[in-house]
Structure 1
Amino acid sequence: MSHTLPVPIPSWLVDRHQLDLSALYSSGWGMEHHAAALAPNGDLYALYLVWRYHHEAKDSAAPAEQNFGYRLITRYAPDGTPLATALCCQDAPDGTPSAITASSGMGLAVLPDGTLVVTGEPDCTYLIAPDLSKVLAAYTMPYRWPFNDVVPGDPFATAIRVTPRGRLLCVVSEFGVHRYGNCLPNLIALTDGPLSPDNKPTLEAIASLDARPAHQTEVDQRPHVRYQGRAVGLGHRPSPGLPDLLARDDKERYWYDRARLGIAAEPLTDELFVVPVLGREFRSGSRGQVFVFALVNAQGEVTGRLEGLDNYKDSPFTGRCYSVATAPDHGLVFHLNRYGLYAWTADGRLRARLGTEDKPFKPLAQFTLLACSSDGELVLVHRKQHLILRIPTRGNLDGLAETVETALRAYGRERTALKKQWRPVNWHWVQATTEQPHHL
């Protein structure tokens, strides 16, 4: 049975900043969805952003004009009840700084012991208590800009996923990727040791995007990331890079020249992972550009790819829908973009495509895929109506079309019921709070 959940904005935030929820986003404010993660006990966490920015009001003290940018984390019980919401990535009104720094590419993961992990670029990792009460540890590294300004840090990973047996599958950033003067995601790495406030385990690099980053010095070596017994950095990392391994001909290799990794690598098993590799983007639009969801094993070997996608008709570049999600219990991979919902078996065979050109599945174009449970429950979020839709597929691809169609019909009914209960303003769901939500 599917389940629809509101993504709440605390009434404290609305009142504190005199936020006009009926105003269009083009007026200088917005709400964006970043990530979700499922805990072993069935709890769901959602990470999202509520912001306002007016250049002329940059230094204003008036609450209705102040700029702000809060990341919010909401924890839901297995039955969908919101249990807690915490704020981060901006100083509290009393000046208390947030222990979490806002960054691009922020994501979520839940460790086997239930600890919540927030990640971001470059290699910023924060461990948070399951009840969102406090930050337990932070492994961070500031942006390095300009490139000759060396800032020390204690980084870990830019993105983390947990394999079925509890290993950590990580994306790690490096300086000088494609000759850029900053840190960009570049390495796929694994660790067997636990990550905790008292232990930052060593990562073993298995693959790289750019095998020859430029401008690196000894400072850019990663002591906690090893390859063949030595720290990764300078000229030492897995080689050749993924574009060289994936390109089918010289023409395709050209378009992978400034390729980048997707949001995260996703585990299918403890030994097989899905790694999104995206060709260069263009300001004028990138639909039709090359991309591949590669199957990479624990030795860094490309064993295949998710087949059946057309660079133009199934392009993830439209709307930047780069994420995939896996259901390890059933050996399945899912992907959702503006053109359809796709499902593959572990050998890369496309088993289902629910195209948004078909009327029953047209609403899927308004959703983003955030996560998938190990047994195949999809977690989607509606980008405009700010509702989470959970679809239990139970690994049944033969009945996937019927399951999704039924869930979309149920979504309409549940949305109507939630509107009567919450009375949203322009699809913004305000949760009454008598005091400021907990500030991380």
Structure 2
Amino acid sequence: MKKYFRISAFVFLVFLGYFGFTNYPKLELISGFSAKSVASGHFIANHTQNFIEQNDDAFDVIDWATNEINESGKFATSTVFGLKKRKAIYRVGLGATLINDDFDIAKPYEIPKRIQTKNNLTFPYGELEPKDTVFANVDYAKLNEAVANAFDTKGNNYKRTRSVLVIYKDKIIAEKYADGFTKNNVILGWSMTKSITGTLFGILQKQGRYDIYKPAPIAEWQNDNRKYITTNDLLHMNSGLEWEEEYDKISDATQMLFHDKDMSRTQLLKPSIYKPNSHWNYSSGTTNLLSGILRKQFKTHQEYLDFWYSALIDKIGMHSMLVETDMAGNYVGSSYGWATTRDWSKLGLLYLHEGNWNGEQLFDPSWAKYVSTPTNTSHGRYGAQFWLNAGSHFPDAPRDMYYCSGFQGQMVAIIPSMDLVIVRMGLTEEPQFDFNGLLIGIVGSVRK
């Protein structure tokens, strides 16, 4: 019996050693993700801790974390098996920020000035409810079936769709929400935020304040071959800079999002391993570098904070949107934009109308063509901070479709040939969720 216990103890110690060796370095990322997710989900989206843990964070190893919300202090903390405690603080106007031990929470900070004008217009150009519109060329039975099929039936929980919105010729023709969600719920768009960041360069270009085809204005690159990288290369994700975008391990992307103080510098410090415009490589670090470049276009930090809202977000009535910042005060343009489903659709409508918002031209019509033209070596999958269907990734959807895409299956699809914008928000991606099936069902219900 003693021999049996010695063997069992040895096996347990070997297992414990292996587990510690393979997983201990990840614990800080796990607790960091969880603290940030709980703080944002609770203080921005008004979800309970239990709801967040049972839904948003119920995947992979994230559910190892133990979380605690401090209501009075407006922060959340997380640990994994009592180790690697992380903290995320919430600040009005800036959202939740994952902080380190050196962060001074008492230091004064600036917040963006928001302008929310009221008018007597209906959605999408105003806050009034849209008027019912019936199109003779829309098969509503087929449309509603396609939308309903995107949601779980009672007793199932694998599609995990939270909302679907279909807009045709500026009119809502279908809108459905999962139980517990309504048109007023803000939902994290994850990498759909990249399309917001990219759009701001189109606006600056329209204003004559920025040339994307010039070398990127980064002092640290001027003494090596990175000096040839243009903002155009960065927008297209083909700068040639080293980057690893993996989320199931410690990578450049996870290090940036859950450790780095200034996310605009993570990609900036990487070496060049390919010539610009010769190798496409998806990089959240590149988009946060673009956010840092945007910051340098303004004399003050306040102007940078205001511009995102005054020039785009509030300009098109996305008043529910909040873009969160990192410890250094940069907008995390790669990942942390929150908005209602209807407000996310407004970004799609802006592009459907080639930059014209109710008579005001925010970016040149050519910018819509620019972002929807395939990036070199992307095989028709990517444009400029937008994903494309030019390479038939969704075989039954129109080839001219381009879209914002985010982790866990967020999508704003723009289909110019059909005058359609389709939004799906949820917690599942391909292949678990059948995006092609949703798209073909909706497109097939609208006769040209």
- TM-score band w.r.t. shorter chain: under 0.3
Which of the pair is proportionally richer in helix? Answer: 2
TM-score with structure 2 setting the length: 0.26
Which of the pair is proportionally richer in strand? Answer: 1
TM-score with structure 1 setting the length: 0.26
Larger Rg: 2
Q: Which has the higher contact order (CA 8 A, sep 6+)?
A: 2
